[in-house]
Structure 1
Amino acid sequence: MPTPTSLDGLIEKASKYLRKKQVKLIKAAFEFGAAAHQGQTRKSGGDYIWHPVAVAEILAEIQLDHESLIAAILHDVIEDTPHSKAEVAEKFGQNVAEIVDGVTKLGKLEFDNPQEAQAESFRKMILAMSRDLRVILIKLADRLHNMRTLGVMRPDKQRRIAHETLDIYAPIAARLGINAFRIELEDLGFKAMYPVRYAVLQNAVKKARGNRKEVIDQINEALTNRLALDKIPANVVGREKHLYSLYKKMKYKRLSFNEILDIFAFRVIVNTPDECYRVLGSVHSLYKPFPGRFKDYIAIPKPNGYQSLHTVLFGPFGAYIEVQMRTQEMHEVSEHGIAAHWVYKEGSAEGEATSQKVDKGRYAVELRAQEWVKNLLEIQQSAGNSLDFLENVKIDLFPNVIYVFTPRGEIITLPTGSTAVDFAYAVHTSVGHSTVGCRIDKKLVPLRSRLESGQTVEIIRSQEQQPNPAWLHFVTTAKARSQIRHFLKNQQSESATSLGERLLTKAIRSFNMSYQGLTEDIRNCIVTELKLTDWDHLLQEIGLGQRLANLVAKQIHDVVLGTEDSIFHYQGSIDASVPLVISGTEGMVVNYAGCCHPIPGDDILGFISAEKGLVIHRQECPNVKNFKNHPEKWLDVKWEEDINQTFNVELQIEVLNGRGALATVASKIAEMKTDIDRVRSEDKDETYSLMNLVIRVRTRKHLADVMRTLKRLPIVEKIHRI
């Protein structure tokens, strides 16, 4: 067993801020962990226990509480040793056991591929985070130490782990505001992923550093003198962008190395937020500000709680100067993010409790982190599987953001490029589901409109509205995308099951049999023969067009012939030619062909498609002739008597060229309480234009009324249905 003196580094750091009793518990955790991992070694050849101790030491450097340090030492005990969660709870408390369990990967379960295993492990970690955010802090420290010791791995494994780090863990560190972790994870990931690029960039920075030092010193002195003259106590430090940040900027902005290094960066740390704004005035009077490059993250913090003022100045020697202004408290939150919350709650080294006064900055960071985790939980509840969930989280991880307002003045933070629908889902899932319209700054706009910072957004709702599949083409946020997909998937399943039952009922009539007479044994026999999960699964496949009802009916008939079941058969004759009745309420599994736009009153046929379910065409549609080669996929259908739905139909209108022609036509359609879905207009010749409008009508009579009304307009020359 390793000697306790090897703990010196961890104990020294922990003793600076923890109570003696808590430090003693850390030593006990080490002894328990060392005994549990006895005989286990790392790839490097060292005893395994030194990895969890190193993870705990990383957390001690940012002064995390003693439970986190104990959990870090024990974080692989449940996974890699015979010890159970109950044993950990008995010796070190339930909190520690829950944290350790949350960090534990799903290594003992079997998955089809490594991607699925990683995704499921990540899902479990997010669920554990919802109970205690310290889970992710330990996981980040664990990943950081693994990255520091990555050199012993095979090159292909190094690249895989580095890719995962840059893809998931570094962005999570950024999202939780732990800047110190993020920077090192990014640089280590960059080094392992692109070793040659890393070496070239590192050498270039070293060579340029000497040439820049004199310029940096001059600017630093000018800033310091100006602040002293204005009597603002401040600490001014020049700062270098880390290598991965330089690399990303060069890559995505297509800049050369010299163009990047023309930007000099400084940080000014003061005592109060008021002094941050005073510093801003001072530096703007010293050097001219660059228009449009000022950002106030103090008034409106970033989603991870980050606060600072940012400005870009025209400096001496033709250089740009980036300046960040923040208080010491803001600086600590910037470096440690959510981790600062547990530092603040912990007692001092002498055993005295810290002040109970709430630190607003750290409290705000925790609230934002909890809100983010809550959002992730909503995404995972609606995700189809772990891989979908992980992909959605990647989408959600930390794009540039905009800040928009609700009509009550509340700030909603969204990724750049978000639409009104993204905003609606950010307010609440039920608001998103029932969205029918949107006002931006009191003006009606389309739902696909991109939002910009500072706008006030009002959502118009209707209890009859449901999510539209077309929204998936323009929404940006993971929450909106996952909630829309979840709703449509459930709706499709229900609609497909209902339609499948109707199709199968009709199909088995041709065999002089009754759907109602199907026994449980017969259903189970068919489900087993087709290798499906249950009877509803079969009905869904029929409803979605993935399985033909006639073939299933034939299989059922063959099964029945081999049984003594006589109840199944109709006693009497059956009219197998009765058409399937279409009501317009079948949902997503019944589609109305865009080539001919059938509406109630038209003579129609149904075509079973594996991609779209049941597609309804007008009998005179030209495409019907193309499909006639597959008679088994055609179905006799008819409209229900009284339909209270609206359907798309396309009109072509020939109008006189003139100002406001489209507005005149649209206004007349609106007077008839008819919605316009799409409009396309083009010139026919010097005198006439052609308008193609897709409008929503209830029946052929309704359509005829609209066409007659439009024909009376003086500007309309001709009108016909496409």
Structure 2
Amino acid sequence: MIDVEDLIALVRNYNPRTNDDLIRRAYAYGRQMHEGQFRQSGEPYFTHPVAVAAILTEQRLDDASIVTALLHDTIEDTKSTYAEIERLFSSEVAELVDGVTKLTNLQLSSAEAKQAENFRKLFMAMSKDLRVILVKLADRLHNMRTLKSMKPEKQAQKARETMEIFAPLAGRMGMQWMREELEDLAFRVLNPEARNSIIRRFITLQRETGDVVHQITADIRLELDKAGIEADVYGRAKKPYSIWRKMQEKDLAFSRLSDIYGFRVICEDEADCYRILGVIHRRWRAVPGRFKDYISQPKSNGYRSIHTSVSGRDGKRVEVQIRTRQMHEVAEAGVAAHWAYRDGVRTKNPFAVDPTKWIASMTERMDEDDHDEFLENVKLEMYSDQVFCFTPKGDVVQLPRGATPLDFAYAIHTRIGNSCVSAKVDGIRVPLWTRLKNGQSVEIITAEGQLPQASWIDIVTTGRAKAAIRKSLREEDRGRFVKLGQELARAAFDHVGKKASDKALRTAAKQLGLADEQDLLARLGSAELTARRVVETLYPELTLATTEEVDAQRPVVGLGADQTFRRAHCCQPVPGERIVGITYRGAGVVIHAIDCPALVEFEEQPARWVDLNWQPGRHKAVYTVSLELTISNDAGVLGHICTIIGEQKANISDLRFTDRKPDYYKLIIDVDLRDVEHLHMVMTALEAETDVAQIARHRDLSLKP
């Protein structure tokens, strides 16, 4: 454990004016309060608060933050009280300790509805003083570093919570080093085999190629010396989790990953950043599409840097980040740079943004959104990376990565988004679901009378756009949705022997935090709320698992009484998947999966789209899905495959070979299934077989709907 004088020395390194007596008193008080308490590892418990304080000294935080770290568990775990801490130290410290205590008591990985409410509390605490979350993040980091002494199930729970909440939160607040370490520590628990595999491959790669990082770093330094530019160059291999995530996102094997090394060039001023960029691009070939200028277009958390990827030594692709020293401080510390001290005074870094702006933007919507929407918006904001696009007049619109022209339209104004009919990107007309890229110019085309379509929910990515679309859909079609919701509620309640009375629905609405039973029915009809959840809210001991089978003749909700339907051959949607209907004159409605590529030809015909949902309950195994398999050409393999499908209570309705080779067969098997879960069970069982080399869902767009 770090001695109090050593801790004071760490603080004095960046803050010579530190209040030594305050830290000594806090150290002594915390040690006394935790006397006799031990961690799971057997160490005295007070070693943990001291380690958290030491982590905060690395971020050069003020005395109040250091003292809070030393006392952050006293109110929760000892006989200490808020009043006593306020009396002995200060109201500022008492408020911070109380804030950390409240965050510790939030079960952020609990059920969704409760999780949303806890996120509200989290952001309310952060909005009062963001130092609370800085202490909490340091607390979580030390807990993750010392996780091995906990039970395996507790390790997994803490790791999931870290991966889902604290790591992206650290990233959103600009503390990239902490995000990377939290992710890697959680990855070590959640998927140790994958992590060890990547590390082994790194070792093998280094054995084959030598110290590539040192070689490329020396190459960059040589080029900068030739140009007479003073700068520091640092290189490193990327973290195992970062590599694994890239492998998953791009579906690439490790051997095909090219940019597994990252390099930073840190210089004195902004002009040198662009000179260095020129030197690097003259020496090595730039990789198209991999250049980002966050100096001229900073991220919302204050991050500034130039990113470029080049083909370096031996053709290896490497990423180079170029920034000034002040930019680097913000890139490393994030919002912590707002409180950082140096030489006894608070640092005035021109690039450190006011961290309360993002928190304020989130808390503004707390009263407008319901639980689920608020939680969705928070996660979208936390995980987002930014792209910058331009209006025809040259104004910059900042959006999360993956945003579409519809998101762009809603970012300008809700009215523009609601009346959007199409868009032009760089002067070329594109579908509304096109993913926007940095620097593109976007023109939104609107029309009077146009209203948001239900399918837009799956196109947009921003919380603002989703909330606006849902609100418009609720208002526009409220009457139809209420009527549809009444039918869904009646059927769901009948299945469990209950009546969907006004009082029952009113009670369920209150439990779910909705305005009244009409609001509940409207959300049921618009598929924002499931009938299962309504029933389970009132009768948690009952489930819909024992309900009668859904009538295979009317398995979907949303069709007119006289409308006929059939499933599209191209995408073969099954219960459990989001669906949409396309009307055909004289041929009824054809049901497509919402992500079916065939829908692109109907983009300009919104009147033909019908919002549909599958009936709740158990469906019969009558929905044919085509599976494409590659299997070993050995005796008995095909028979074994058919047996596996039968064991999953699925029927094979057709089987055809598409390719025969001496060592393998390719074939398409048509299987009759109940729903998307049944499909997952069958595919998982087949994928686990060693004789199955590949399996995928077969979709043939050449087939007419």
Assess if the C-alpha contact under 8 Å between 1:384 and 1:486 holds in 2.
no
Greater gyration radius: 1
Q: Does 1:374 find its partner at 2:366? A: no
> Post-superposition shift, 1:164?
1.8
Match of 1:405 among 386, 390, 394: 390
> Post-superposition shift, 1:210?
4.9
Structure 1 stretches lacking a partner, 5+ long: 502-524, 547-608, 624-647, 653-674, 681-722
Q: What is the TM-score normalised by the length of structure 2?
A: 0.65
Q: What CA distance in whole angstroms lies between the structure 1 residues aligned with 2:366 and 2:285?
A: 48
Q: What CA distance in whole angstroms lies between the structure 1 residues aligned with 2:351 and 2:523?
A: 53
What's 1:168 paired with?
A: 165
Q: Does 1:360 find its partner at 2:357? A: no
1:524-543 equivalences in 2 (<5 Å) = 527=503, 537=516
What's 1:417 paired with?
A: 402
Q: What CA distance in whole angstroms lies between the structure 2 residues aligned with 1:403 and 1:34?
A: 50
- Comparing 225-234 with 397-406, greater Cα deviation is found at 397-406
Tell me the amino acid that sits aligned with residue 308 of structure 1.
S
Assess if the C-alpha contact under 8 Å between 1:191 and 1:198 holds in 2.
yes
Assess if the C-alpha contact under 8 Å between 2:56 and 2:135 holds in 1.
yes
SS of corresponding position for 2:60: coil
SS of corresponding position for 1:362: coil
Tell me the amino acid that sits aligned with residue 162 of structure 1.
A
What's 1:348 paired with?
A: 343
* Cα distance change, pair 53–470 in 1 and its aligned pair in 2 (3 A): same
Q: What CA distance in whole angstroms lies between the structure 1 residues aligned with 2:109 and 2:302?
A: 39
CA shift digits 1:170-218 (9 cap, x unpaired) = 1222222212211211211111112233233334334443554454444
1:206-225 equivalences in 2 (<5 Å) = 206-225=203-222
Q: What CA distance in whole angstroms lies between the structure 2 residues aligned with 1:258 and 1:402?
A: 29
Match of 2:456 among 443, 461, 471: 471
Q: What CA distance in whole angstroms lies between the structure 1 residues aligned with 2:108 and 2:379?
A: 21
What's 2:529 paired with?
A: none
Assess if the C-alpha contact under 8 Å between 1:544 and 1:610 holds in 2.
no
CA shift digits 1:545-585 (9 cap, x unpaired) = 99xxxxxxxxxxxxxxxxxxxxxxxxxxxxxxxxxxxxxxx
SS of corresponding position for 1:359: coil
1:262-301 equivalences in 2 (<5 Å) = 264-301=261-298
Q: What CA distance in whole angstroms lies between the structure 1 residues aligned with 2:95 and 2:54?
A: 20
Q: What CA distance in whole angstroms lies between the structure 2 residues aligned with 1:131 and 1:543?
A: 36
Tell me the amino acid that sits aligned with residue 361 of structure 1.
F
SS of corresponding position for 1:104: helix
Match of 2:250 among 253, 268, 290: 253
What's 1:202 paired with?
A: 199
Assess if the C-alpha contact under 8 Å between 2:123 and 2:359 holds in 1.
yes
1:599-614 equivalences in 2 (<5 Å) = none
Tell me the amino acid that sits aligned with residue 471 of structure 1.
W
- Comparing 48-57 with 137-146, greater Cα deviation is found at 48-57
Assess if the C-alpha contact under 8 Å between 2:224 and 2:230 holds in 1.
yes
Q: What CA distance in whole angstroms lies between the structure 2 residues aligned with 1:58 and 1:127?
A: 24
Across the aligned residues of Structure 1 and Structure 2, the Cα RMSD in angstroms comes to: 4.3
> Post-superposition shift, 1:44?
2.1
- Comparing 373-382 with 42-51, greater Cα deviation is found at 373-382
What's 2:190 paired with?
A: 193
SS of corresponding position for 1:280: helix
Assess if the C-alpha contact under 8 Å between 2:108 and 2:161 holds in 1.
no
> Post-superposition shift, 1:27?
2.4
Q: Does 1:77 find its partner at 2:82? A: no
SS of corresponding position for 1:360: coil
* Cα distance change, pair 274–473 in 1 and its aligned pair in 2 (3 A): same
Q: What CA distance in whole angstroms lies between the structure 2 residues aligned with 1:449 and 1:195?
A: 37
> Post-superposition shift, 1:427?
4.0
Q: Does 1:315 find its partner at 2:312? A: yes
Q: What is the TM-score normalised by the length of structure 1?
A: 0.63
Match of 1:389 among 374, 377, 388: 374
Assess if the C-alpha contact under 8 Å between 2:231 and 2:267 holds in 1.
yes
Q: Does 1:18 find its partner at 2:15? A: yes
Tell me the amino acid that sits aligned with residue 349 of structure 2.
D
Tell me the amino acid that sits aligned with residue 350 of structure 2.
K
CA shift digits 1:368-388 (9 cap, x unpaired) = x44432343245434422x55
What's 1:149 paired with?
A: 146
Q: What CA distance in whole angstroms lies between the structure 1 residues aligned with 2:285 and 2:101?
A: 53
Assess if the C-alpha contact under 8 Å between 2:65 and 2:135 holds in 1.
yes
> Post-superposition shift, 1:11?
1.9
Assess if the C-alpha contact under 8 Å between 1:434 and 1:462 holds in 2.
yes
What's 1:178 paired with?
A: 175
* Cα distance change, pair 494–374 in 1 and its aligned pair in 2 (3 A): farther
Tell me the amino acid that sits aligned with residue 329 of structure 1.
Q
* Cα distance change, pair 101–212 in 1 and its aligned pair in 2 (3 A): farther
Tell me the amino acid that sits aligned with residue 57 of structure 1.
A
* Cα distance change, pair 141–470 in 1 and its aligned pair in 2 (3 A): same
Assess if the C-alpha contact under 8 Å between 1:375 and 1:479 holds in 2.
no
Tell me the amino acid that sits aligned with residue 372 of structure 1.
W
Q: Does 1:304 find its partner at 2:309? A: no
> Post-superposition shift, 1:55?
1.1
CA shift digits 1:1-39 (9 cap, x unpaired) = x9xx73244222112122445332222223333344344
Assess if the C-alpha contact under 8 Å between 1:17 and 1:63 holds in 2.
yes
1:498-509 equivalences in 2 (<5 Å) = none
Tell me the amino acid that sits aligned with residue 28 of structure 1.
R
Assess if the C-alpha contact under 8 Å between 1:53 and 1:73 holds in 2.
yes
Q: What CA distance in whole angstroms lies between the structure 2 residues aligned with 1:528 and 1:266?
A: 62
Assess if the C-alpha contact under 8 Å between 2:388 and 2:398 holds in 1.
yes
Assess if the C-alpha contact under 8 Å between 1:383 and 1:486 holds in 2.
no
Q: What CA distance in whole angstroms lies between the structure 1 residues aligned with 2:505 and 2:465?
A: 39
CA shift digits 1:294-325 (9 cap, x unpaired) = 32222222343322222333333333343222
Q: What CA distance in whole angstroms lies between the structure 2 residues aligned with 1:232 and 1:107?
A: 48
CA shift digits 1:520-567 (9 cap, x unpaired) = xxxxx9848996678984566788899xxxxxxxxxxxxxxxxxxxxx
* Cα distance change, pair 292–457 in 1 and its aligned pair in 2 (3 A): closer
Tell me the amino acid that sits aligned with residue 473 of structure 1.
D
- Comparing 8-17 with 534-543, greater Cα deviation is found at 534-543
Assess if the C-alpha contact under 8 Å between 2:309 and 2:318 holds in 1.
yes
Match of 2:440 among 413, 434, 455: 455
Q: What CA distance in whole angstroms lies between the structure 2 residues aligned with 1:112 and 1:204?
A: 33
Q: What CA distance in whole angstroms lies between the structure 2 residues aligned with 1:529 and 1:278?
A: 67
SS of corresponding position for 1:325: strand
Tell me the amino acid that sits aligned with residue 343 of structure 2.
S
SS of corresponding position for 1:310: strand
SS of corresponding position for 2:39: coil
Tell me the amino acid that sits aligned with residue 456 of structure 1.
S
> Post-superposition shift, 1:271?
1.1
Assess if the C-alpha contact under 8 Å between 1:545 and 1:610 holds in 2.
no
Tell me the amino acid that sits aligned with residue 239 of structure 2.
H
What's 1:244 paired with?
A: 241
Tell me the amino acid that sits aligned with residue 376 of structure 1.
M
1:627-638 equivalences in 2 (<5 Å) = none
Assess if the C-alpha contact under 8 Å between 2:390 and 2:439 holds in 1.
yes
Match of 2:134 among 133, 137, 153: 137
Assess if the C-alpha contact under 8 Å between 2:505 and 2:520 holds in 1.
no
Q: What CA distance in whole angstroms lies between the structure 1 residues aligned with 2:161 and 2:280?
A: 41
CA shift digits 1:407-430 (9 cap, x unpaired) = 553322222332233224434567
Identity %: 39
